[in-house]
Chains A and B, each alone.
Chain A
Amino acid sequence: MRPAIVSPFLAAAAAVLLASPAARATVTVVVNSVPIQRLNQDNSTAATHGMPTGSQGLNYADCATDVKVRFTVTMAGLPDPGSYVQAWAGPSDCAPQAARTAATAACWPVYSANVAQATASTIDINVQDIVAQAGLTSTGLNLTYARATKADCATAATRIPGEATLGIYFVVVPAAGGDGASVNQPFKVKLAGPAAPTGVSLSEGDGLLNVNWTPAADSTTQGFAVYTDPPVSGGDAGASAGDAGLCSSAVLSSGTPAADLGAYLATTASGSTSVSATLTGLKNGTTYNVAVAAKDSYDNTGPLSALSSSTCGTPAAIDDFWKKYHEAGGTAGGDCAVAAPGASLADPWVSYGAAGALVVLGAALARRRS
Chain B
Amino acid sequence: MMRRSLAVAVASAVAFAASPAAAQYAGNELSGATPKHFESPQHVALELRFSPYQPNIDSAPGVSGAPYQSVFGTMPRLLGSLEVDWQALRIPYLGTLGLGGSVGYTSMSALAPFSAGSGRSGLSGETTSLDVFPMYAVVVLRADVLLRNWKFPIVPYGKAGVGMALWRAYNDAGTSSYTDASGHGVSGKGYTLGTQFAAGLALSINWLDPRAARALDNGTGINNTSLFAEWMVSKLDGFGSTKALYVGSSTWVAGLSFEF
**Interface residues in chain A, defined as those with a beta carbon under 8 Å from any beta carbon in chain B:** 202-210, 278, 280, 284-285, 316-338, 345-346, 348, 351-352, 355-356, 358-360, 362-363, 366-367, 369-370
**A102 CA to B63 CA, complexed, in Å:** 87
Interface of A is mostly: mixed
B183-205: which residues lie under 8 A (CB-CB) from chain A? 185-192
**What B residues does A352 contact at CB under 8 A?**
103, 105, 133, 135, 166
**Interface residues in chain B, defined as those with a beta carbon under 8 Å from any beta carbon in chain A:** 41-44, 46, 57, 60, 62-68, 70-72, 82, 84, 86, 101-103, 105, 110, 112-120, 124-126, 128-131, 133, 135, 164, 166-169, 171-178, 180, 185-192, 242-245, 260
**A351 CA to B115 CA, complexed, in Å:** 34
Q: Check if B67 sits within 8 Å of A330, measured CB to CB.
A: yes
**What B residues does A322 contact at CB under 8 A?**
128, 169, 176-178, 188
Give the shortest distance, in Å, between A196 (CB) and chain B (any CB). Answer: 23
Q: Check if A363 sits within 8 Å of B46, measured CB to CB.
A: yes
Contact of B71 among A278, A285, A324 (CB under 8 A): A324
Give the shortest distance, in Å, between B219 (CB) and chain A (any CB). Answer: 15
**What B residues does A208 contact at CB under 8 A?**
126, 172-173
Contact of B68 among A284, A325, A332, A336 (CB under 8 A): A325
Q: Check if B133 sits within 8 Å of A205, measured CB to CB.
A: no
Q: Check if B176 sits within 8 Å of A332, measured CB to CB.
A: no
**A326 CA to B66 CA, complexed, in Å:** 11
Contact of A321 among B67, B114, B135 (CB under 8 A): B67
Contact of B166 among A330, A338, A366 (CB under 8 A): A338
Residues A367 and B186 in contact in the complex (CB < 8 Å), given A322-B176, A352-B103:
no
**What B residues does A320 contact at CB under 8 A?**
71, 112, 126, 128, 169, 171, 176
The residue among A322, A337, A362 with the most chain B CB atoms within 10 A of its own CB is A322
Q: Check if A319 sits within 8 Å of B84, measured CB to CB.
A: no
The 9 closest A-B pairs by CB, nearest first: A203-B125, A205-B126, A322-B176, A320-B128, A332-B245, A316-B118, A317-B115, A324-B67, A370-B43
Give the shortest distance, in Å, between A272 (CB) and chain B (any CB). Answer: 23
**What A residues does B130 contact at CB under 8 A?**
321
Contact of A328 among B41, B65, B168, B242 (CB under 8 A): B65
**What A residues does B102 contact at CB under 8 A?**
359
Q: Check if B189 sits within 8 Å of A205, measured CB to CB.
A: no
Q: Check if A362 sits within 8 Å of B41, measured CB to CB.
A: no
Residues A326 and B180 in contact in the complex (CB < 8 Å), given A317-B114, A320-B126, A359-B101:
yes
**A359 CA to B244 CA, complexed, in Å:** 25
Q: Check if B113 sits within 8 Å of A205, measured CB to CB.
A: no
Residues A317 and B117 in contact in the complex (CB < 8 Å), given A325-B63, A332-B243, A351-B166:
yes
**What A residues does B84 contact at CB under 8 A?**
359-360, 362-363
Residues A278 and B189 in contact in the complex (CB < 8 Å), given A316-B119, A338-B166, A367-B43:
no
**A229 CA to B63 CA, complexed, in Å:** 43
Residues A367 and B260 in contact in the complex (CB < 8 Å), given A318-B115, A359-B82:
yes
Q: Check if B245 sits within 8 Å of A318, measured CB to CB.
A: no
| Complex: chain B residue closest to A338, CB-CB | B191
**A330 CA to B68 CA, complexed, in Å:** 11
Give the shortest distance, in Å, between A278 (CB) and chain B (any CB). Answer: 5
**A205 CA to B113 CA, complexed, in Å:** 9
28 contacts between A and B (CB under 8 A): A202-B125, A205-B112, A206-B126, A207-B173, A316-B120, A317-B118, A318-B115, A318-B118, A318-B128, A323-B176, A324-B71, A325-B245, A326-B180, A329-B62, A331-B243, A333-B186, A334-B190, A336-B190, A338-B166, A345-B189, A346-B174, A346-B175, A351-B166, A352-B133, A359-B84, A363-B46, A363-B84, A363-B86
Q: Check if A206 sits within 8 Å of B171, measured CB to CB.
A: yes
**What A residues does B169 contact at CB under 8 A?**
320-322, 325, 333
**What B residues does A327 contact at CB under 8 A?**
67
**A203 CA to B124 CA, complexed, in Å:** 7
**What A residues does B168 contact at CB under 8 A?**
348
**A143 CA to B113 CA, complexed, in Å:** 67
